[in-house]
Structure formats: C-alpha cells, structure tokens
Amino acid sequence: MQTNNPAYEYLAEALQKSGQDVAAVKAALKAQHIETPSWGYGNSGTRFKVFAAAGAARNVYEKIDDAAFIHRLTGVAPSVALHIPWDKTSDWSGLRQYAAERGIALGAINPNLFQDDEYKSGSVCHPDPVVRRRAVDHMLECVEIMRATGSRDLSLWLADGTNYAGQDSIRARKHRLEEAACEVYRRLPEDARILVEYKFFEPAFYQTDLADWGMAASLSRKLGPQAKVLVDTGHHAPGTNVEHIVAFLLDEGLLGGFHFNARKYADDDLIVGSVNPFELFLIYNELVGAAADSNPMVSGCAQDVAYMIDQSHNIEPKLEAMLQSVVNCQVAYAKALLVDRVALAERQAAEDVLGAHRVLTDAFETDVRPLLAQVRAEMGVPENPLAALAASDYPKKVAAERGAAEGGSGGYPGA
C-alpha cells in the first residue's frame, strides 16, 4: 500500500526483505495498551516540597479528562488507574460513565496503605491488630470499588517495614502480611487479580516486608492463580538486571503487570525510558519473545500483562511528561517487535556471542519513528503526538480554568 510516508516505505521494504511481517508488527502496535495513572496528572512532589503546576488536575474528574486527552493523542492509553482515597467518589457508577463518555475505562485500583498516621509502624504488618484491621478493611473497600468500576486489577504496594534491628519480628510481620492478603484474595471478583508489588527500600530503611520479586512471587503463589507479581521498573537497586527478573517471572507464569518509570539511583519515578532506553527495550524484548513461546503458560502470561505508568512529575509539565512516557513505551515496543528472532536463535545456538548481541542492537538502533507515524495515521491519531500537544489549546485551556492549586496527591505520590 502506497503511503505519503517515504521513510516508512523505505523501512517497510527493508523489513520485508529481511522476512519481517510488517502487517503483524503494525497490528501489534495498534493493539498496545498503556494505562496512565490518575496521580500523574495532579500536583505531587518530593518529601520536601510539592510544586504547584498550572493546570494540574484537582480532582478525579479532571484527571480523567487529562487521561482521555493523552489517549486521543496516542490511541494506546485507553484506561486510567485510580488511587484510593485520593480518587474516591460517592458515585462510582457515574464516574465510570463519565470516563466511558470520554473514551477511556477505569483501570487498576491502588489502595493507600502508607499515608495515615496509624501506619507509622506499618499497615497489614503492623503489630497492633486494630491497625491491621483498618488496613484490611481499606483493601476490601477497594475490592468493592473494583466491582463498581469494572476494574480487573488490585495493585498492592506496602510501605511496611522497619528502620532498626529488633524493632519488630520479621517473621511475625511476614505472617501478618500473608493473613491479610489471604483475606483480601478470597474476596476478589472471579475474574479479578491482585498484583503484588515489591520495593527494596523506602520508607523502611532496615527491612522492607515486600523487598524483592522473590518475596512477591512467594506471596503470589501462596495466594493462588489470581495473584501475580507487579514489577515497578524504578524499584530496584542500580545495576539490577530487570529484564532477567521479567524473563524469570514470565517463565514461571507469575508476571502480572508493570509500573513503568525510570530511575538513576533508586526510586526516582522519572519518565519511562529517560535514563536507560536500552533497558526498556530489553524488557519489551523479553515480553515479545515470551508471547510467541511454544509453552502456553508462558505465552498466555506474556499476553496478559498489565502495562501501567507510575511516575511523579514534580518539575515537568504533567501532560507532556505523561505523553513522553507513552511515546517511549511505543518506541521500545516497536523496536522489540523488529528483533529477528530466527536469526537470534540461530546465533545463540551457534554460540555466536557478539552476533546474537548485534541482532538485538540492530533492532534497538532502528529508527522506528516513521513506522509509528504510519501506524498512528492508520489509527486516526496525530502522527507526532508531542507536536500535536504543543499545538493544542488544551493545556492552556485547563491552566486557565484550574489555575495552580496547591497540594494534590500529596508530597509523596504513591507506589
């Protein structure tokens, strides 16, 4: 099919000559689904300061408006995650309808188990059963919100942990966590999931109750098949091989979703792909490879992953930062789809170390912007979403309407 995109025509011809199914690549890109977070559209900040931004969303309805705008620019962000109680409303049916009228769905529900004074020593791992009961009841409330919103996923992140050796019994805290999670798991809707997130530190600096993917995987297995691991790409120590973790969890059928962001040091919540785009590409490479695996457990797991963004936009323009993350996910996915998997397998089998490596780097270094522009044109969305944002009146309109309200999601934006 002739297009008005010569760069795309050149790339498509080259891909076809190398045996790539260009139509299949485009179909996969059109089906991509990136869920944006409500808290990324409101004011947020560090522990020290919340910088008010002109036009930042002040309530859940404005967050939905902003999420819908990002979806109109990209065509691949059709849902928005909610954080409770930040996004709580008395009319969930009305909120669901409000979102649907704007072309998006309400996505994962994120309980807040770190903000209240009672959670100073933990939530579900707290030594006081009264506090634990409060935390469990909040999660059960979120399960009911899932029913009302049609959400499939309950994203569980805990700030629970200790700061000093001997502060509490580590094993007792583990048992409390398992007991609480089991109670919530039993109340999940039949088609719903609980996604168990981990974080190796912060705010607990001696011991964190869900500190790594192994602990999250262990808890998921104990809960049952409706529990999976959620990988936050920024919740790892520098040098951690995140794509290795992703590959392992895929092979075990335990990967449930992502909170995409980037980190330079630990948990920086930066724009996706802004620090290490090669890492993001390698993560997508594992996902694309697993989706075509001959083992149905592995391929089924890879095809059922929730892709969610989780960022703290403290100094960046909210809409531009969110859009940049979605675009970066599109770029990484497109490059992963271009990996010549036949050639890669041949070079791996032949122990051609650098040849195999070059198969990946060749795909990573491919300029996929013409391909994405063509895909977007066929989807009826702007070929250059960032340019469309710059030309849009929407940011100025909401800035004039909303002003620069103080506060928002709070000094610490969430997990």
Q: Is the pLDDT of residue 68 over 80?
A: yes
Question: Which pLDDT score, from 0 to 100, does residue 407 have?
Answer: 53
The neighbouring-strand residues paired with 208 are 161
CA atoms within 13 A on the CB side of 23: 1
Q: Is the pLDDT of residue 395 over 80?
A: yes
Q: Is the pLDDT of residue 81 over 70?
A: yes
Q: How far is CA 319 from the centre of its chain?
A: 16
pLDDT in tens, 186-199: 999 999 999 999 99
The DSSP line for 225-291 is: TTEEEEEETTSS-TT--HHHHHHHHHHTT-EEEEEE-B-SSS---BPTTSS-HHHHHHHHHHHHHHH
Backbone angles phi, psi at 358, to 5 degrees: -70, -30
State yes or no: pLDDT of 289 exceeds 70.
Answer: yes
Closest by alpha carbon to 235, among 266, 270, 210, 205?
266
pLDDT at residue 389, as a whole number: 98
pLDDT higher than 60, residue 409 = no
The percent of residues in the chain predicted with pLDDT above 90, rounded, is 88
The domain locations on the chain are: 7-111+233-402
- Specify the length of the chain in residues: 415
Given a cut of 50, is residue 114 above it in pLDDT? yes
Average of per-residue pLDDT across 46-63: 87
Q: What is the CATH number of domain 7-111+233-402?
A: 3.20.20.150
**Amino acid at position 98, single letter:** Y
Mean pLDDT of 359-375: 97
Quick count: other Cβ atoms within 10 Å of Cβ 355? 14
Residue range 239-275, pLDDT digits in tens? 999 999 999 999 999 999 999 999 999 888 999 999 9
pLDDT at 410 over 90: no
User: DSSP code of 40?
Assistant: G
B/e letters for 174-186, b = 16+ CB within 10 Å, e = fewer, are bebbbebbeebbe
